[in-house]
Amino acid sequence: MGSDVSEAPGPLERSRYERDELLAISRALSSERDIRKLLDLILDKSRRITGADAGSVYVLEAADADGNGQPDSRAFGNPARLPRALGEAGRRHVPTPVRGLQNRPARLHFMLSQNDSIPVDFKEFTLPVDDTSLAGQAVLSGRPINVPDVGQARATAGSSAHNRSFDDKIGYRARSMLTVPMLSTEGEVIGVIQLINKKRRPSQVLSTPADFEEGVVPFDERAEEMALALASQAGVSLENAILYDEIRRLFESFVDASVTAIESRDPTTSGHSRRVATLSVALAEKVDAIDDGPLAPVHFSREDLRQIEYAGVLHDFGKVGVREQILVKAKKLYDWQLEAIRLRLAYVRKSIEAESLRRQLEHIRQGAPAAALAAIEQEQTERLAALDECWHLVLTANEPTVLEQPVLARLAEVAAWRYLDETGQSKPYLLPDELAALQVPRGSLTPAERQQIESHVNHTVAFLQTIPWGRSLRRVPQIAAAHHELLNGAGYPIGLHGADISVEARMLTIADIFDALTAADRPYKAAVPVPRALVILESEVKAGKCDADLFRVFVGAEVFKRVL
């Protein structure tokens, strides 16, 4: 715990120690944004400057009318939503300060405990804000409560009793206790620091009754002053950290809502954005741990990982600017186009049958021989068979599979066949736009439609650039914009080469391709087995499209299993 103020040779040395310590504490508190780390730091520094053996931190949180805490809106993230890049600690509940305590029910959340003498099996719990506990009293009064001897205070009429059940359970005894409220910039209580057992000698371990009797002294007036000074700084730092976290969670809610908007437009790729983010962050974490080879110089901070996460989650947001019928197009023809062809061929069928019957009737009137009637019947059969071939050919070509050249050639021949419509005008069996769609050699999109799909990157960039990302996240638009760029320059929308593509964007590319191959929710293709998907990715690497070093980590560290 360091040197105790009581061991300082004199008042001057003690004053210098306290001044230097408060300055160091102030710098440390102002730089910490992680709430749990901040609370741990607050308690540690409070114990250090006052010489306390143990201590706890409570944070005030709002409760509903039944005394229950706020629901998920106050939770530290949601595992079912964004794939948190920063670990499980980021998902744990952290309360927010209560505004206007007199008008809102509240409770004290026991967040943290420290003890230099014995290990404590810490578990969080809550307390009501009332005068039955010293912490509750400190909240209600807004003033410190200094109890020189808890045992004597418990025997005093009208005093709040310290709950000894916890002490008895762990074999520890609270003797002197200093409970100090943490105040916000508006003077509202947002938490409580409870310091236990100021030790006569900082190095002493309190274990026996004699240790507690002889080694524990009351918190003096100077310790109380120092605790108040630190609590004042701590309250402001905690409020800022909570505000920072609220802003972050608000922004993550916005990001999550954006993903929902994407998936509502393109439900066939539901979950894709989150999986790409999860894979990209996992790959970045593995790369960050490498200490040799070409990737050894590449490292990522917490904010770098968050930047990759946001870029991964939002990389396809621009799909909101693409026509929905193109996004969900499962086959080469739209349903309404296929239905139009079916009705057209049905009309042609009825026309052939009607024409055949008319000719047969005319021949019968003219007394033609049976052979002539049979010839007409045979001609009708052949024409209807050709019509059936046309329909079968359309259905075959409509599938988003690779078309062989003979099929393409026959499709062009059939499309040139003509019939007379109800006005007597000659029309082709297949319209030009229908033929163009059916002649797509692979996939379901025409060149024009593919251009519209590819334009989603431009829409993504335009959207992301309107967001004031701040210094730590300023590269989110740049990373997301390059997830379809390839090292050999064959990507889009700009056609960047090699070093012009950031390592973060290269990670997104690998994650995006892998998930697109293995996703089971694409209507235009079946999911590719993982081994086959890795082989395909490897072929992209060999073709100079994807980063070979990142791919080796992706496979070697089995990053792909994070979404399986």
**Residue 219 amino acid letter:** F
Task: Show the CA angle centred on residue 240, arms to residues 235 and 244, nearest 5°.
Answer: 150
pLDDT recorded at residue 236? 81
pLDDT recorded at residue 92? 36
pLDDT recorded at residue 523? 61
Q: How far is CA 283 from the centre of its chain?
A: 15
The pTM for the full model equals 0.68
CA–CA dist 100, 516 (Å, integer)? 51
pLDDT recorded at residue 5? 44
Three-state DSSP state, 1: coil
CA–CA dist 45, 28 (Å, integer)? 10
Q: What are the two backbone dihedrals, phi and then psi, of residue 55, each rounded to the nearest 5 degrees?
A: 180, 170
**Residue 157 amino acid letter:** A
pLDDT recorded at residue 244? 80
> How many other C-beta atoms can be found within 10 angstroms of the C-beta atom of residue 366?
8
Q: Which residues contact 57 (CB under 8 A, 6 or more apart)?
A: 39, 42, 43, 110, 111, 112, 113, 191, 192, 193, 194
DSSP 311: H
pLDDT recorded at residue 461? 93
Q: What is the dihedral of CA 21, 27, 33, 34, to 10 degrees?
A: -30
pLDDT recorded at residue 99? 41
CA–CA dist 515, 392 (Å, integer)? 33
Contact 238, 245 (CB under 8 A): no
pLDDT recorded at residue 76? 28
pLDDT recorded at residue 18? 62
Burial of residue 499 (number of CB atoms within 10 Å: 0-12, 13-18, 19+): exposed
Alpha helix segments (H runs only) across 8-101: 11-31, 35-50
pLDDT recorded at residue 91? 34
- In the predicted model, residues of the chain with pLDDT beneath 50 are 1-9, 65-67, 69-103, 157-161
